[in-house]
Amino acid sequence: MTCNILVVDSDASTHEALGEALECEPYELFSAASPDEGMELLRRVDMDLIIAGRHLPGMSGEELLQQMSVEGNRAPGLLIAPASGLGEGSPPHSFPIISKPRNNEELKLLVRYLLEAERLGRENTRLRAQLRVQHAHINCLREILTYLGTNHPVP
């Protein structure tokens, strides 16, 4: 199954490097050079992962990922920052972050991990819903058995 990955970064070399690093993987990469372009792509295509540069024109990558989440996107996010942008004193972030230059194997593992964690979360939600339905059926059967056990004639 092919996963759709949106890359939002104003640096064209980031798009090229990610494309090269993930070219043999079962992913389709979509590129956007700005947050607005990324939001437009997200409205048209279901994405499984969003990779955003930490510093984008007009907002930070973290703000973009938070905005996408507020607008109903459930895809996990990953931030990319220059190696110098990860030092002490950088603000805490709520998304995984990987630095440039990237280790391609580390990037592949992180992408696989994020996609698998999201898949497992969706499966967990589906199974919990199924379990609630099954509990409701069991409760109905208990009520029927209780009713029948009170010597009421079967209709």
- Give the CATH number for residue 21: 3.40.50.2300
Query: What pLDDT is attached to residue 89?
Result: 44
In a domain, 89, yes or no: yes
Structural domain tally of the chain? 1
Query: What pLDDT is attached to residue 14?
Result: 85
In a domain, 127, yes or no: no
Residue 108 is which amino acid? K
In a domain, 129, yes or no: no
Query: What pLDDT is attached to residue 152?
Result: 63
In a domain, 126, yes or no: no
In a domain, 152, yes or no: no
Q: How far apart are CA 132 and CA 32, in angstroms?
A: 41
Query: What pLDDT is attached to residue 104?
Result: 84
In a domain, 140, yes or no: no
In a domain, 70, yes or no: yes
| Per-residue pLDDT of the chain in tens (155 residues, 90 and over written 9) | 789 999 999 888 888 888 888 888 999 999 999 999 999 998 899 999 999 998 898 988 999 998 888 877 788 999 988 766 555 445 555 788 887 766 788 888 899 999 999 899 889 999 999 999 999 999 898 888 888 887 666 55
Residue 57 is which amino acid? P
Query: What pLDDT is attached to residue 86?
Result: 53
The structure's pTM equals 0.76
Q: Name the residue range of residue 58's domain.
A: 3-120
> Measured between alpha carbons, how far is residue 83 from residues 11, 101, 103, 110 in Å?
15, 7, 12, 17
Give the residue carrying structure tokens 């490097």: 17
Between helices 12-21 and 104-149, what is the axis angle to 10°? 70
Q: How far apart are CA 28 and CA 1, in angstroms?
A: 10
